[in-house]
A and B are shown apart, each in its own frame.
Chain A
Amino acid sequence: MYSEKVLEHYTNPRNVGSLDRNDPAVGTGMVGAPECGDVMKLQIKVNDETGVIEEARFKTFGCGSAIASSSLATEWVKGKTIDEALRIRNVDIVNELSLPPVKIHCSILAEDAIKAAIDDYKKKNGR
């Protein structure tokens, strides 16, 4: 029912936790709603000089595929510049995790979380 990769991320989620949301270098994105059954919080810490995402953290309320999608998203954004991270598409997550059609919304949520975190960082830093 679940792909190996979803199970692996669910069992050993990467980059779980929280960064200080008041740190100017930190961007926080939170998407979804409790009554919809998924909420993702994704945070990035950006090196101001290079624009590279040096740290990423997540916490997710949602099904195994939502947890895996956000765990993968933190792995992928780390080491990328903001512009590179913005090019991550939900279909890439779908393909990597072999998500079935009913779980595509989990990948969309993860893409939205990345964008929301970057947005927040940009707003904070007047960009």
Chain B
Amino acid sequence: MKKPIYMDNHATTPVDPRVLEAMLPYFGEKFGNAASRNHSYGWDAEQAVDKARNQIASLIGASPKEIVFTSGATESDNLAIKGVAEMYAERGNHIITAPTEHKAVLDTCKKLAKSGCEITYLPVRKDGLIDLDQLRAAITPRTILISIMHANNEIGVLQPIREIGRITRGRGVLFHTDATQSVGKVPVSVEDDFIDLMSISAHKMYGPKGIGALYVRRKNPRVQLTAQMDGGGHERGMRSGTLNVPGIVGLGEACAVASREMAPEAVRLAEMRDRLKDTLLAELDEVYINGSLEHRLPNSLNMSFAYVEGESLLMGINDVAVSSGSACTSATLEPSYVLKALGVGDDLAHTSIRFGLGRFNTGEEVDYVAARVIQVVRKLRELSPLYEMAKLGIDLNKVEWVKD
């Protein structure tokens, strides 16, 4: 077993060796600019980009012409939301989203709110899912866009995008979904799911960092965007900038691998994830799963280990790479806003750990991680005054705490 064991695949994934191999020639002898129309260097690059466009389109049931390459999902989210807000400003200024979205969506909406857009944040239920009736009720004649992510990056919960798409299509509102965590992991079809815009990232699906795509529907309805960068008019005028050919080839190959292997991989990962979950639940008391188990990525598990602070747990399992929703591990020193939106108290948010399994994890690694977590949680509970009080039957909600 190679240590530290990597189980943080929602943060990023390693590049699949097959993806790397496909990319390498485009760093070397095939270095051409895909926009060079007059020589074979350019033609080779253009051909590689076309192939990648087909591979990506095929994975999501789109036409290759509907793929716009970007630097990653953050740029795709910005382009989709700001591009629609500007282009459709005369039709309306109302955007609907949810508080559990990625910051790339939330902060984009926050910025648009400053320039006159109205943003509605649909609350999520305890299981992390939005309520479709509330979505229906939130749509007004001024609504131009609904942006709801497919899979959540912290808890792995899958929103009902097909039902959302059906509603938005019926009401003539555009539907953007940030599918960074789900494309290549679970089936997504822009046709069946009525998606108009979709953000994709390569490095979450065993491709390289710094490359992503935005799916932009071309018909029924034809979606138009105001470009957010001025330049040479690449990508149907929506995103200027010389194409990152090796990155694009990598994203394409990652999609091709996913098209072939996604189904059996999902089964394998779900089995390992469930084994991890079941072992932890069997061996430890007061462990809570955050978010719906039923509507969830196969590789995702987010758990709160009551009375054990997340950063101290990560410190104890230092040969395992995972993440925590604890304030101490975040840049803002606030506990996870996603868990807060689900109604998880700050006390339990501080104790949360995100396990993200991936293509290269093994059953042996899962068993090792489970054993380490159990060992360290037990040790830290011996050290925890809260666990001691809880075991004595003291209601921690009734204690008067001395806050600093």
- Contact surface of A with B, Cβ cutoff 8 Å: 2, 10, 13, 16, 18, 30-41, 59-64, 66-67, 102, 105, 108-109, 112, 116
Set of chain B residues within 8 Å of A10, measured between Cβ atoms? 312, 315-316
A34-B383 in contact (CB<8A): no
B404-A105 in contact (CB<8A): yes
A67-B383 in contact (CB<8A): yes
Interface string of B323-349 (1 = CB under 8 A from A): 000111000010100000000011100
Q: How far is the CB of B340 from chain A (nearest CB, A)?
A: 11
Q: How far is the CA of A82 from the CA of B404 in the complex (A)?
A: 23
Known: A2-B315, A35-B346, A38-B309. A63 touches B328 (CB 8 A): yes
A60-B326 in contact (CB<8A): no
Q: 6 closest A-B pairs (Cβ-Cβ)?
A: A33-B401, A35-B346, A34-B347, A41-B385, A59-B385, A63-B311
Tell me the number of A-to-B contacts counted with CB atoms below 8 Å.
Answer: 82
Which B369-404 residues have a C-beta within 8 angstroms of A? Answer: 382-388, 396, 401-404
22 contacts between A and B (CB under 8 A): A2-B315, A31-B404, A32-B403, A32-B404, A33-B402, A34-B346, A34-B386, A35-B345, A35-B347, A36-B346, A39-B386, A41-B385, A60-B384, A61-B386, A61-B387, A62-B309, A63-B312, A64-B311, A66-B309, A67-B312, A67-B383, A112-B404
Q: How far is the CB of B64 from chain A (nearest CB, A)?
A: 45
Q: How far is the CA of A10 from the CA of B313 in the complex (A)?
A: 11
Q: How far is the CB of A25 from chain B (nearest CB, A)?
A: 20
A33-B385 in contact (CB<8A): no
Query: Quick one: closest B residue to A42, CB to CB?
Result: B385
Set of chain B residues within 8 Å of A13, measured between Cβ atoms? 383
Set of chain B residues within 8 Å of A102, measured between Cβ atoms? 333
Q: How far is the CA of A60 from the CA of B382 in the complex (A)?
A: 9
For residue B52, CB closer than 8 A to chain A, the reply is no
For residue B307, CB closer than 8 A to chain A, the reply is yes
Q: How far is the CA of A32 from the CA of B383 in the complex (A)?
A: 15
A40-B326 in contact (CB<8A): no
19 further A-B pairs in the complex, CB-CB below 8 A; given A33-B402, A37-B326, A37-B328: A10-B312, A16-B382, A32-B403, A34-B346, A34-B347, A38-B309, A39-B386, A40-B385, A59-B383, A61-B308, A61-B383, A61-B385, A61-B387, A62-B309, A63-B309, A63-B311, A63-B326, A105-B404, A109-B404
Query: Quick one: closest A residue to B346, CB to CB?
Result: A35
Q: How far is the CA of A101 from the CA of B339 in the complex (A)?
A: 27
A64-B403 in contact (CB<8A): no
Q: How far is the CA of A59 from the CA of B386 in the complex (A)?
A: 9
Total B residues in contact with A, Cβ cutoff 8 Å: 28
Our pick among B350, B382, B384, B396 for the contact of A37 (Cβ within 8 Å) is: B350
Q: How far is the CB of A13 from chain B (nearest CB, A)?
A: 6
Our pick among A30, A61, A112 for the contact of B384 (Cβ within 8 Å) is: A61
Query: Quick one: closest B residue to A71, CB to CB?
Result: B383
Known: A60-B383, A64-B315, A67-B312. A32 touches B402 (CB 8 A): yes
Query: Quick one: closest A residue to B401, CB to CB?
Result: A33
A62-B312 in contact (CB<8A): yes
Set of chain A residues within 8 Å of B383, measured between Cβ atoms? 13, 16, 59-61, 67
Set of chain A residues within 8 Å of B311, measured between Cβ atoms? 63-64
Set of chain B residues within 8 Å of A35, measured between Cβ atoms? 345-347, 350
B403-A33 in contact (CB<8A): yes
B401-A34 in contact (CB<8A): yes
Q: How far is the CA of A66 from the CA of B308 in the complex (A)?
A: 12
Our pick among A34, A62, A67, A112 for the contact of B402 (Cβ within 8 Å) is: A112
Query: Quick one: closest A residue to B382, CB to CB?
Result: A16
Q: How far is the CA of A2 from the CA of B403 in the complex (A)?
A: 25
Known: A36-B403, A37-B327. A30 touches B312 (CB 8 A): no
Most buried by B among A16, A31, A59: A59
Interface string of B94-107 (1 = CB under 8 A from A): 00000000000000
Set of chain B residues within 8 Å of A60, measured between Cβ atoms? 383-385
Q: How far is the CB of A47 from chain B (nearest CB, A)?
A: 25
Interface string of B158-180 (1 = CB under 8 A from A): 00000000000000000000000
